Structure 1
Amino acid sequence: MTSATQRALLGCIADDFTGATDLANMLVRGGMRTVQSIGVPASNDIVDADALVVALKSRTIPAADAVAQSLAALDWLRAQGCRQFFFKYCSTFDSTDAGNIGPVADALLDALTGERDAKAAFTIACPAFPENGRTIYRGHLFVGDVLLNESGMENHPLTPMRDANLVRVLQRQTRSKVGLVRDSSVAGGVAAVRDAFDALRDDGVRMAIADAVSDADLYVLGEACADLTLITGGSGIALGLPGNFRRAGLLMEATDAAYVPRVEGLSAVLAGSASRATLAQVAAWRESRPAFRIDPLAAARGEPVIDEALAFAQTYLDNAEPVLIYASATPEEVKDVQRRLGVNEAGHLVEHTLAEIARGLHARGVRRFVVAGGETSGAVVQALDVRTLRIGAQIEPGVPATATTGADPLALALKSGNFGSPDFFGKALRHLEGAAS
């Protein structure tokens, strides 16, 4: 990060690392030069970008810690001069009744508006991402053609989602009154949505779930949010935000917004997610390419799982052949490990193991990493001491190519567990190997 005269317009806080790159990808597609930091930067030097995204690892930590980290990120973004703020969470609304979406949104709203302006103390919550099959209708979140609680998310090891009614889900997490911006208002256009905002405010609502079943709905909602200090949601709602700054004369067209340099080196894939999408990607890779599966129970017994994985990888890296190292497992297998080790211990063990393997792969010359799973991505980028990322072109919806800054660059594709086609791993490696983009 270097001193510059350009101050960012939009300041974003993401509750996990893949979600951060997902959001940054959307902003780059809208022509905003975007820089993503891993954690809150220590320096307040002005970053030359149109949008800044602070990636936290706060989705599943205690709510009080998530609030503290998010407020620290907000302080840094305000010091950067940002005009509007965005709290990004998963398009499947991953959380529990104890948080963290509601508590963090409450804290950010309080910090940005205080008690001075009740009209300003209002925001929306819209995790919709139709391009990836996440839509909201009458407050209910669908994944493809099924409700959230029938999509496989009900089996998530850390944030099982068993209620598709987001108004109810969010109301259980927040002291704020939660309302709904209905599809009929969204269909009526920007003016109708703003009228709905005013009616909800008059009724004491501070947060409103917003229906959206298409990208057109997201553009309407995004434009309607131009005057909101805080917006919360998935990356989809960011579709309409660059246009607001452009209409206000604050954002110029950027033809190089998606540029990242080509990174030389070996390649590897690391997967920790147990989502259906990632399991399908692991299966597709294993049909024709080398893969090593991490056994959490063996790691818990003290067996040399990390050394074995690295020895396996070396055999193929010697021939410049990429490998997959994965801990992804079926819901039944995950539950069995959690029963034996405990939910938190099982998750931490997998993250630690894959993080140490990432360090070992880097020492062996790997410079291009594809990582599946938000928690896994967080552990890996921290292990590799990644501080900032330049955001490049989209590989698939929600997943851009990225490259670190500095003398020893890395190319990274950080994928939410739920995202991507079955052949995503191979597609992502080809994209990273073929950059610049």
Structure 2
Amino acid sequence: MSALPDTPVLAWLGDDFTGAAAVMEVFAFADLPAVLFLDTPSPERMADFPRMQGIGIASMARTYSPARMERDLPAQFELLAQTGARLVQYKTCSTLDSAPHVGSIGKAMDIGAAIFGATTIPIMIAAPEMRRYQAFGTLFAGTDAGVFRLDRHPVMTRHPVTPMDEADVALHLAQQTDIVIQCLDLETLAEPSRACAMLKAGKGGVTIDQMGPQDVRAAGALLWNGHNRFVVGSQGIAYALVAHFQKIGLLQHAPTVSGIGRAERMAVVSGSVSSTTADQITWALDNGFADIRLDVTQVCGGDLANAEARALELALQSLVHGQVPIIYTARGPDDPAVAQLRAAAGDQLVQVNDDIGAALGRILEQLVDKAGLDRAVVSGGDTSGHVCKALGIDALTAAAPTIPGAAICNAHGRASPLTLALKGGQMGSRDYFGWVLDGGGER
């Protein structure tokens, strides 16, 4: 093949908004045009973004029950299949956020296997570019303090909804599906003929190890040259495809991407309780951002509207004084508000979290409309979905990079221009919010 096909290379359904956007940015900054739709698009809306090599749909499937997945995912998979994309991906988190009862990756695999007639499903969770590694089936993730096995990771073991207690990818997913899952390990990946034969002969799911650039290129070749249209995994799939295309000359190495300039008026909302986000909030407050806590304990007492109104009032005042408001629900997993909310919510925690995300969305929507924001940041994968819906955004395209997986994007569907950065709770440098304020750009 001397050129990439005219049809899309990859179509994907993201299990949350931040992760879905991460795939889009990998393609866009490699000079492969890509768009992410924030709801199932009409044919007319899809036609507004012609000649895309990557087409994604963001969902909130990470918060869905298996029954909700059965209702919603088939139609979205079928729409992506109709794009003619060579590969169709169910995009998971690179830290495997999922459980049998919520955000089940295994259930998504069951649904996708039925729709695509897949007897073998490549599973690529690792993304070494983001310090997500898989070795002999075990997943590792990097932090400022080092690289940890996922079941010993200081953030993921304390996730508020899906705390991680199993680092073996196949064993974790075996709790969610009856599909038999095996591992294509580093030794097999190093021998292309063996790796290809394993995917051809395999029955069920096959997790793919990756530790470094050579593995990434080999994994990309395996996916592109294989016969498995339905794939499951993180943005590591997009990175692997790009690396393979560059190696064989189908794609040139993209030039450095610059920033888009400092925002005139920006706000940040955060529904994350991760320690990473807590460090970012501390940096922001130390650097002049306005400290505004949304009192989430009022949700269970029926006073969410009052807490929401108070946070909005303080945020508007801070913008008048030239500050960037940062409206947050907690400062890390040890914040007393986290335990208080869990105790008060009881078995309604999922609904309460949805209510909080919706409140943050309404606050940001009011700030954009009343204060004329030209840029916004959302921290938290689940929160991002609620916020984008509140803002009336229906599509994103990449504008400027920051850290991998949390670019600044152009928001489409609104009358007034808006750039938006979405980041998962555990993502980003300590100065991430300041980096976005300054307009991003590689550094």
Asked whether the two chains share a fold, i.e. TM above 0.5, the reply is yes
Aligned counterparts of 1:60 and 1:335: Cα–Cα separation in 2: 20
Unaligned runs of 5+ in 1: 114-119
Partner of 2:324: 322
**2:43 partner letter:** S
**2:72 partner letter:** Q
Taking the TM superposition and a 5 Å limit, the aligned residue runs for 1:73-112 are 73-98=76-101, 100-112=104-116
Aligned counterparts of 2:85 and 2:257: Cα–Cα separation in 1: 21
Count of aligned positions: 418
Question: Residues 90-117 of structure 1, C-alpha deviation per residue, up to 9 Å, x if partnerless?
Answer: 011000134510111221122112xxxx
Give, in angstroms, the shift of residue 258 of structure 1.
7.3
Partner of 2:365: 359
Partner of 2:36: 36
Question: Residues 322-357 of structure 1, C-alpha deviation per residue, up to 9 Å, x if partnerless?
Answer: 111111343243233112113223312321221111
Give, in angstroms, the shift of residue 208 of structure 1.
1.3
Tell me whether 377-386 or 360-369 shows the greater mean CA deviation: 360-369
Give the direction of change, closer, same or farther, for the CA distance of 1:147–1:243 in structure 2 (3 Å limit): closer
Corresponding residue to 1:223 among 210, 221, 241: 221
Partner of 2:435: 427
Partner of 1:310: 312
**2:295 partner letter:** D
Aligned counterparts of 1:66 and 1:219: Cα–Cα separation in 2: 32
TM-score by length of 1: 0.88
Question: Residues 295-335 of structure 1, C-alpha deviation per residue, up to 9 Å, x if partnerless?
Answer: 11134431611121122112221144311111134324323
Q: Is the Cα contact below 8 Å between 2:127 and 2:235 reproduced in 1?
A: yes
Give, in angstroms, the shift of residue 405 of structure 1.
2.6
TM-score by length of 2: 0.87
Give, in angstroms, the shift of residue 260 of structure 1.
10
Aligned counterparts of 1:324 and 1:424: Cα–Cα separation in 2: 13
Tell me whether 262-271 or 144-153 shows the greater mean CA deviation: 262-271
**1:93 partner letter:** L
**2:353 partner letter:** G
Give, in angstroms, the shift of residue 123 of structure 1.
1.6
Q: Is the Cα contact below 8 Å between 1:263 and 1:368 reproduced in 2?
A: no
Partner of 2:401: 394
Aligned counterparts of 1:198 and 1:137: Cα–Cα separation in 2: 22
**1:78 partner letter:** A
Partner of 1:368: 375
Give, in angstroms, the shift of residue 79 of structure 1.
2.6
Question: Residues 159-191 of structure 1, C-alpha deviation per residue, up to 9 Å, x if partnerless?
Answer: 1111111111111211211111112112x1433
Tell me whether 188-197 or 309-318 shows the greater mean CA deviation: 188-197
Same amino acid, percent of matched pairs: 27
Tell me whether 12-21 or 280-289 shows the greater mean CA deviation: 280-289
Q: Is the Cα contact below 8 Å between 1:134 and 1:141 reproduced in 2?
A: yes
Aligned counterparts of 1:257 and 1:121: Cα–Cα separation in 2: 40
**2:428 partner letter:** G
SS at match of 2:292: strand
**Please, what is the CA RMSD of the aligned residues?**
2.7
Question: Residues 195-220 of structure 1, C-alpha deviation per residue, up to 9 Å, x if partnerless?
Answer: 33245x1xxx3101211122331221
Q: Is the Cα contact below 8 Å between 1:36 and 1:391 reproduced in 2?
A: no
Q: Is the Cα contact below 8 Å between 1:36 and 1:389 reproduced in 2?
A: yes
Q: Is the Cα contact below 8 Å between 1:258 and 1:392 reproduced in 2?
A: no
Unaligned runs of 5+ in 2: none
Question: Residues 190-245 of structure 1, C-alpha deviation per residue, up to 9 Å, x if partnerless?
Answer: 3332133245x1xxx31012111223312211111112201211112211224666
**1:211 partner letter:** D
Taking the TM superposition and a 5 Å limit, the aligned residue runs for 1:21-32 are 21-32=21-32
Partner of 1:150: 152
Q: Is the Cα contact below 8 Å between 1:268 and 1:368 reproduced in 2?
A: yes
Taking the TM superposition and a 5 Å limit, the aligned residue runs for 1:259-270 are 266-270=265-269
Partner of 2:58: 55
**1:385 partner letter:** G
Give, in angstroms, the shift of residue 409 of structure 1.
2.2
Q: Is the Cα contact below 8 Å between 1:219 and 1:237 reproduced in 2?
A: no
Q: Is the Cα contact below 8 Å between 2:78 and 2:115 reproduced in 1?
A: no
